[in-house]
Amino acid sequence: MDKKTIGILGGGQLGRMVVEAASRLNINTVILDAPNAPAKQINAVSEHIDGSFTHYESIVKLAEKSDVLTVEIEHVDADALKRVKQKFPHIEIYPLPETIKLIQDKYLQKEHLIQHDIEVAESIPVLDNTEQALLEVGEKFGYPFMLKSRTLAYDGRGNFVVKSSDKVGEALEFLKDRPLYAEKWCPFVKELAVMVVRSLEGEVFAYPTVETIQQDNICHLVIAPARIPDTLAKKASILANNAVKSFPGCGIFGVEMFLLPNNELLVNEIAPRPHNSGHYTIDACVTSQFEAHVRAVAGLPMPKGFTEFSTTSTNAIMLNVLGDKDTADKELEICRRALETPHATVYLYGKTTRPGRKMGHINIVSSSMEDCENRLEYISGSTASLPA
Ligand code: ADP
Ligand code: NA
Ligand code: MG
């Protein structure tokens, strides 16, 4: 296709699925992460870098082998990336280091979105981590409110629901010395998500609006399309496009949203990378989120409609496969049932099992949502017989 080599900071499952998409286009990828990271396992080149995506010298080593740098995680050293751009001006870095830096701090991300007229939950910074400061938040927002770490948050590990004034001590203990902000509680009826890919020219392409269902703060299911009226789905899509237009550079973004009881939509947070809510695109859309990202950062064509469902009657459900809480590898039974199920595809990430760890996912695709739901029941073990 093209002789560009893409260097990826991070070699988890997202990097692994980018590698898969790139390799189909004869695009080389090199990975910076720990030895035997999931993305390295399926990419038999010797150039991979063993090291950390938060370490300047390691990023320089990756840059020396790359024409384009990208990330599969936003918790990289963004300042190091800015220095790398100065040292190697010919290397493209997408998302832009400035975008990564902004998004890394969830409170700065919110301020940025507000400046661009994107609706978000009302938020205030917590300037000192004291009970008094949290009680003042409680007076302003009422209870419950959400206390969040501004940085290094994922899978709920950075959030604490402050249910009442006598819980502020516990909240501070939980989030210790992290930089904090508080968010007004959003009594959402559904959580929605939209993947958006942005070309270097600034054109945005939204994937379908989907519904995400979290369990213990981790994505459990994705329902595509979202079971909401078309007008709302369209509104979500426009909101996501507008949010992503506010970030220069190019690549794929995941936009998480809350749908409130009055049908108002608020952006929760944005990820500047492939996202768990977009895994369904591998089997349900013309182009997967991973290939869309590769096309964007490599400057390949992005034709009209390339992010749409493969057919006008495509429905999909994605189920995350998490490490079983009690018995090592028991989650493989879910995968086994999925293999027995028509219209289901299993993706495993090559990780060692741990309770609650994201081990893989399953995509179910059919022309009816009811059919997807019946198949999900069998796969998740809530019915013993395979649907007809
Ligand atoms: P993470 O980086 O861990 O994904 P999020 O900020 O997206 O952090 O929060 C994780 C989950 O917590 C969300 O998907 C949502 O279910 C819930 N949540 C987050 N913020 C709020 C809020 N302001 N009100 C109600 N629920 C929230
Ligand atoms: Na996050
Ligand atoms: Mg989130």
Number of Cβ within a 10 Å radius of residue 57: 10
How much is the average pLDDT of 343-352? 97
How much is the average pLDDT of 167-190? 96
Say whether pLDDT at 173 is over 90. yes
Distance spanning both ends of the chain, measured CA to CA: 43
> Is the beta carbon of 269 within 6 A of some atom in ligand 1?
yes
Say whether pLDDT at 307 is over 70. yes
Kindly state the tokens that stand for 300.
């390949």
Report pLDDT digits (tens) over 189-227. Answer: 999 999 999 999 999 999 999 999 999 889 999 999 999
Banded pLDDT at 302 (limits 50, 70, 90): very high
Q: How far apart are CA 221 and CA 214, in angstroms?
A: 7
> Is the beta carbon of 161 within 6 A of some atom in ligand 1?
no
Which of 215, 217, 275 gets mutated to test ligand 1 (max ligand atoms within 8 A of its CB)? 217
How much is the average pLDDT of 340-360? 97
> Is the beta carbon of 183 within 6 A of some atom in ligand 1?
yes
Ligand 1 atom at minimum distance from 106 CA? 6
Banded pLDDT at 367 (limits 50, 70, 90): very high
> Is the beta carbon of 185 within 6 A of some atom in ligand 1?
yes
How much is the average pLDDT of 339-350? 97
Banded pLDDT at 1 (limits 50, 70, 90): low
For ligand 3, the distance from its centroid to the CA atom of residue 150, given in whole angstroms, is: 12
Dihedral sign for Cα 248, 274, 314, 233, please.
negative
Ligand 1 atom at minimum distance from 157 CA? 3
Taking the CA of 146 as reference, the closest ligand is 1
For ligand 2, the distance from its centroid to the CA atom of residue 280, given in whole angstroms, is: 19
Which of 268, 270, 275, 358 gets mutated to test ligand 1 (max ligand atoms within 8 A of its CB)? 268
Kindly state the tokens that stand for 80.
């190091």
Say whether pLDDT at 281 is over 80. yes
pLDDT value at position 2? Answer: 60
Report pLDDT digits (tens) over 215-274. Answer: 988 999 999 999 999 999 999 999 999 999 999 999 999 999 999 999 999 999 999 999
Tell me, what DSSP letter sits at residue 278?
G
Number of Cβ within a 10 Å radius of residue 2: 12
Q: How far apart are CA 221 and CA 224, in angstroms?
A: 10
> Is the beta carbon of 72 within 6 A of some atom in ligand 1?
no
- The pTM of the full predicted model, rounded to 2 decimals, is 0.97
Nearest to 273 by CA among 111, 115, 155, 103: 103
How much is the average pLDDT of 111-127? 97
> Is the beta carbon of 246 within 6 A of some atom in ligand 1?
no
ipTM: 0.97
Mean pLDDT score of the chain, rounded to an integer?
Answer: 96
* Contact call for residues 150 and 178 (beta carbons, < 8 A): yes
Q: Whose CA is nearest to atom 5 of ligand 1?
A: 156
* Burial (0-12, 13-18, 19+ Cβ within 10 Å), 381: exposed
Report pLDDT digits (tens) over 10-58. Answer: 999 999 999 999 999 999 999 999 999 999 999 988 899 999 999 999 9
* Contact call for residues 149 and 178 (beta carbons, < 8 A): yes
For ligand 1, the distance from its centroid to the CA atom of residue 217, given in whole angstroms, is: 7
Residues of the chain with pLDDT > 90: what percent?
Answer: 94
For ligand 2, the distance from its centroid to the CA atom of residue 269, given in whole angstroms, is: 7
Ligand 1 atom at minimum distance from 158 CA? 3
For ligand 3, the distance from its centroid to the CA atom of residue 130, given in whole angstroms, is: 25
Greater model confidence, 317 or 177: 317
Nearest to 366 by CA among 265, 244, 284: 284
Tell me: cis bond preceding 144? Omega within 30 of 0 counts: yes
Kindly state the tokens that stand for 242.
């507008």
For ligand 1, the distance from its centroid to the CA atom of residue 191, given in whole angstroms, is: 9
How much is the average pLDDT of 306-315? 98
Q: Whose CA is nearest to atom 11 of ligand 1?
A: 217
Q: Are strands 204-206 and 190-198 parallel, antiparallel or unpaired?
A: antiparallel
pLDDT value at position 68? Answer: 98
Give the three-class secondary structure for 56.
helix
> Is the beta carbon of 155 within 6 A of some atom in ligand 1?
yes
